[in-house]
């Protein structure tokens, strides 16, 4: 790194949020400094060695569509790729990749090191400097001062963190990395509300000591989409995962030793994730269940270390041995690492605008687990938005607010900044009311135009995107074509469990048949040529669900009037006559930017919105 101390933007933290933020600002021609405790922590998969999953796959595709890096790196380092929820509709189909955690880290570090306008510094941020209510720079633990115009805080789970295994408590970050002991005080001094959250991770096992015959194989899928729209071909599935179950003995061991569990003995005070609980919590919460799923997943090709998903725990080491050995196939397994819980400081996301900028310090953005979320994908999604808006702030342009009707990222950030969260927030498909419109396959249609407008999507990529859109529009003109009755057509329909069509059928009506797939139909019936599988798939889904999509678009149009009605900056809610006291206090605290955002605040009802609308 050179000796310059003046930067356009400084990003603190090099996890999944920090990496996306730093790349976003550097790629939009801002001199950027990325501060990390150690380069070894860059995009490190401290917990599950996977990217994607239910709803999370949507986030990764959206990050990619905006011009981010997570999807491309995941595609390059995939060991096994699967599409989850295939028994349900396309809205909830979710990509999940088992990735090589070491290769993922190395690949992302190389991307950062080769990125122009980006310097990496191994140090700890200690104090945020402000001047006249605006960001001015940071001071590091080593005593260096760096001036800047914007800061993105992406501190992950490192703020005053401690790891807990039984009675063993360590003052450290995840995976044995150091932690940040100074920045929380600076955040409090600035006015942030600080909370204490908790997450955890399971033991890692020696794969050579496992009897895999006691588990069910979980193989990868072939010929499915990848995370990045730039990836031409998915990595081959080179590794297998395995499904197994805990036993009644596992349950008994945990219940007999519950007094030793830090979650129940009072050692852990932080709030944990409801949707990814420890095995102790699952046993207590679901006491009627005699068993729970566990998955054996490879971590890297560098060794035979196995991650046992579903067994997150902070139990003492001797109890962890008994728990694991009670599972069929793991009776003689060897431990590589013990599971642990980690507690850390985070902020109240209600302190942020939906741009992820702090409400009381201009130019200060927060992204990732510091905002109370859980998961790599949620972090990366916030990181790219914070980076985009830091760039727009620096350039004096209007900042970007993604909406609930155009992205899962918009749902994520809107939930955080209008409702807040009292536990680590996890994205789920059920949180998105327009999820049939927000599919993985069409993430580029929804967001690549935005990525190009903010300077992250390259002209070359944008040109390819526009070509794809022309192809889709051209393909739609074939939908009204009639497929003449034929023996071949009837054979195809019968083969997929549909009735024959003695008078023929339009391609549009073929798409609407429940079991029909236009891509497979075209391979059989030669309906058209010159289109990719992705183009055909998108047209097929839009045709099949045309009525539902039309209804969702009508709902969006109705709600858009509220979304577009801006609330002036500094608006005095308490001065509005007829507005209930509770609503006025909530609105004054959160300071929503639009009536739509105001309507989603807990404690604000439709009558309050009507009063507010009339006043405005």
Regarding whether 571 and 478 lie in a shared domain, the answer is: no
Higher pLDDT among residues 102 and 576, named by residue:
102
Q: What share of the chain is helix, strand, coil (3-state, %, to 5)?
A: 40, 20, 40
Q: What is the pTM of this model?
A: 0.95
pLDDT of residue 256: 96
Would 190 be classed as within a structural domain?
no
Regarding whether 310 and 262 lie in a shared domain, the answer is: yes
Would 223 be classed as within a structural domain?
yes
Name, in order, each residue with C-beta under 8 angstroms of 370's C-beta and a sequence gap of 6 or more.
13, 17, 153, 154, 155, 156, 159, 346, 347
Would 530 be classed as within a structural domain?
yes
Q: What CATH number did the domain enclosing 539 receive?
A: 1.10.10.1800
DSSP state of 418: I
Give kind and range of the element (H or E) at residue 97: strand 94-99
Containing structural domain, residue 578 = 565-615
Regarding whether 569 and 531 lie in a shared domain, the answer is: no
For residue range 344-395, what is the model confidence (pLDDT) as tens digits?
999 999 999 999 999 999 999 999 999 999 999 999 999 999 999 999 999 9
Instruction: Give the span between the Cα atoms of 515 and 368, in whole angstroms.
Output: 40
Greatest alpha-carbon pair distance for the chain in Å reads 81
Residue 220: closest CA among 78, 377, 428, 59? 78
Higher pLDDT among residues 574 and 274, named by residue:
574
Q: Give the mean pLDDT of 94-109.
A: 98
Instruction: Give the span between the Cα atoms of 58 and 55, in whole angstroms.
Output: 5
In the three-class reduction of DSSP (H, G, I as helix; E, B as strand; rest coil), residue 396 is classed as coil
Would 8 be classed as within a structural domain?
no
Helical packing angle, 16-27 and 376-394, nearest 10°: 30
Q: Which residues pair with 80 in a beta bridge?
A: 98
Would 29 be classed as within a structural domain?
no
Q: What is the 3-state secondary structure (H, E, C) of 289-331?
A: CCCCEEEEEECCCCCCEEEEECCCCCCCHHHHHHHHHCCCCCC
Regarding whether 539 and 514 lie in a shared domain, the answer is: yes
DSSP state of 456: -
Q: What is the 3-state secondary structure (H, E, C) of 358-390?
A: ECCCECEEECCHHHCECCHHHHHHHHHHHHHHH
Regarding whether 321 and 218 lie in a shared domain, the answer is: yes
Of the residues 341, 360, 375, which one is the last residue of a structural domain? 341
Regarding whether 572 and 542 lie in a shared domain, the answer is: no
Q: How many domains does the chain have?
A: 3
328, 258 contact by CB (below 8 A): no
Burial class (CB in 10 A: 0-12, 13-18, 19+), 118: buried
Q: In this model, does residue 485 exceed pLDDT 80?
A: yes
Regarding whether 210 and 335 lie in a shared domain, the answer is: yes
Confidence of residue 2 (pLDDT cuts 50, 70, 90): very low
Q: In this model, does residue 3 exceed pLDDT 70?
A: no
Would 473 be classed as within a structural domain?
yes
For residue range 392-448, what is the model confidence (pLDDT) as tens digits?
999 999 999 999 999 999 999 999 999 999 999 999 999 999 999 999 999 999 999
For residue range 302-340, what is the model confidence (pLDDT) as tens digits?
999 999 999 999 999 999 999 999 999 999 999 999 999
Of the residues 492, 520, 548, which one is the last residue of a structural domain? 548
Regarding whether 591 and 543 lie in a shared domain, the answer is: no
Return the structure tokens found at 274. 């409801």
Instruction: Give the span between the Cα atoms of 85 and 534, in whole angstroms.
Output: 19
| Sign, CA torsion 606/611/614/616 | negative
Q: What CATH number did the domain enclosing 607 receive?
A: 1.10.150.570
**What is the DSSP track for 420-451?**
--SS-B---GGG-TTTTTS-STTHHHHHHHHH
Name, in order, each residue with C-beta under 8 angstroms of 529's C-beta and a sequence gap of 6 or more.
none
Would 242 be classed as within a structural domain?
yes
Regarding whether 293 and 216 lie in a shared domain, the answer is: yes
Regarding whether 573 and 522 lie in a shared domain, the answer is: no
Would 19 be classed as within a structural domain?
no
Q: What CATH number did the domain enclosing 318 receive?
A: 2.40.30.260
pLDDT of residue 276: 82
Regarding whether 242 and 317 lie in a shared domain, the answer is: yes
Regarding whether 597 and 524 lie in a shared domain, the answer is: no
Of the residues 318, 341, 364, which one is the last residue of a structural domain? 341
Confidence of residue 4 (pLDDT cuts 50, 70, 90): low
Instruction: Give the span between the Cα atoms of 268 and 170, in whole angstroms.
Output: 13
Q: Give the mean pLDDT of 228-240.
A: 95
Q: Give the mean pLDDT of 38-63.
A: 97
């Amino acid at each position: 790194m050179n000796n310059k101390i003046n930067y356009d933007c400084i990003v603190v933290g090099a996890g999944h949020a920090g990496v996306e933020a730093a790349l976003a600002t550097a790629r939009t021609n801002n001199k950027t400094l990325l501060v990390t405790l150690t380069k070894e922590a860059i995009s490190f998969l401290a917990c599950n060695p996977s990217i994607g999953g239910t709803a999370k796959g949507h986030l990764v595709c959206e990050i990619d569509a905006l011009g981010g890096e997570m999807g491309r790196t995941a595609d390059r380092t995939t060991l096994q790729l699967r599409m989850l929820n295939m028994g349900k509709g396309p809205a909830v189909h979710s990509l999940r990749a088992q990735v090589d955690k070491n290769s993922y880290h190395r690949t992302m570090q190389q991307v950062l090191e080769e990125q122009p306008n980006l310097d990496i510094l191994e140090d700890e941020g200690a104090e945020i400097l402000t001047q006249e209510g605006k960001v001015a720079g940071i001071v590091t633990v080593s005593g260096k001062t760096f001036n800047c115009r914007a800061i993105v805080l992406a501190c992950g789970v490192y703020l005053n963190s401690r790891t807990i295994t039984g009675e063993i408590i360590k003052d450290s970050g995840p995976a044995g990395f150091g932690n940040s002991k100074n920045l929380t005080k600076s955040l409090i001094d600035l006015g942030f509300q600080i909370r204490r959250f908790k997450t955890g991770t399971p033991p890692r096992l020696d794969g050579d000591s496992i009897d895999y015959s006691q588990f069910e194989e979980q193989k990868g899928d072939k010929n499915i989409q990848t995370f990045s729209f730039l990836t031409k071909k998915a990595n081959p599935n080179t590794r297998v995962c395995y499904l197994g179950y805990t036993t009644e003995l596992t349950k008994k061991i945990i219940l007999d030793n519950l007094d030793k569990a830090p979650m129940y003995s009072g050692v852990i005070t932080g709030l944990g994730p409801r949707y990814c609980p420890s095995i102790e919590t699952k046993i207590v919460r679901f006491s009627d269940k005699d068993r729970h799923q566990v998955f054996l997943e490879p971590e890297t090709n560098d060794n035979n270390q196995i991650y046992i998903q579903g067994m997150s725990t902070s139990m003492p080491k001797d109890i962890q041995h008994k728990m694991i050995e009670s599972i069929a196939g793991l009776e003689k397994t060897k431990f590589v690492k013990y599971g642990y819980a980690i507690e850390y400081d985070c902020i109240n996301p209600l302190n942020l605008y939906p741009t992820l900028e702090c409400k009381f310090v201009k130019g200060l953005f927060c992204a990732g687990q510091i905002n109370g979320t859980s998961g790599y994908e949620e972090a990366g999604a916030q990181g790219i938005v914070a980076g985009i808006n830091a760039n727009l702030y620096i350039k004096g342009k209007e900042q970007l607010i993604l909406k609930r009707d155009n992205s899962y990222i918009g749902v994520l950030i809107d939930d955080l900044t209008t409702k807040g969260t009292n536990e680590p927030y996890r994205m789920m498909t059920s949180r998105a009311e327009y999820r049939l419109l927000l599919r993985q396959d069409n993430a580029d249609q929804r967001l690549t135009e935005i990525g190009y407008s903010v300077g992250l999507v390259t002209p070359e990529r944008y040109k390819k995107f526009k070509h794809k859109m022309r192809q889709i529009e051209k393909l739609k003109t074939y939908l009204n074509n009639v497929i003449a009755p034929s023996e071949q057509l009837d054979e195809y329909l019968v083969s997929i469990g549909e009735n024959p069509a003695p008078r023929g059928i339009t391609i549009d009506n073929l798409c609407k048949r429940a079991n029909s797939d236009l891509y497979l139909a075209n391979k059989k019936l030669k309906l058209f040529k010159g289109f990719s599988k992705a183009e055909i798939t998108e047209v097929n889904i839009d045709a099949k669900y045309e009525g539902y999509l039309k209804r969702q678009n009508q709902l969006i149009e109705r709600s858009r009037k509220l979304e577009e009605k801006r609330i002036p900056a500094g608006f005095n809610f308490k001065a509005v006559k007829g507005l209930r006291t509770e609503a006025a206090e909530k609105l004054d605290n959160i300071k929503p930017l639009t009536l739509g955002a105001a309507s989603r605040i807990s404690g604000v009802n439709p009558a309050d919105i009507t009063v507010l609308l009339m006043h405005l």
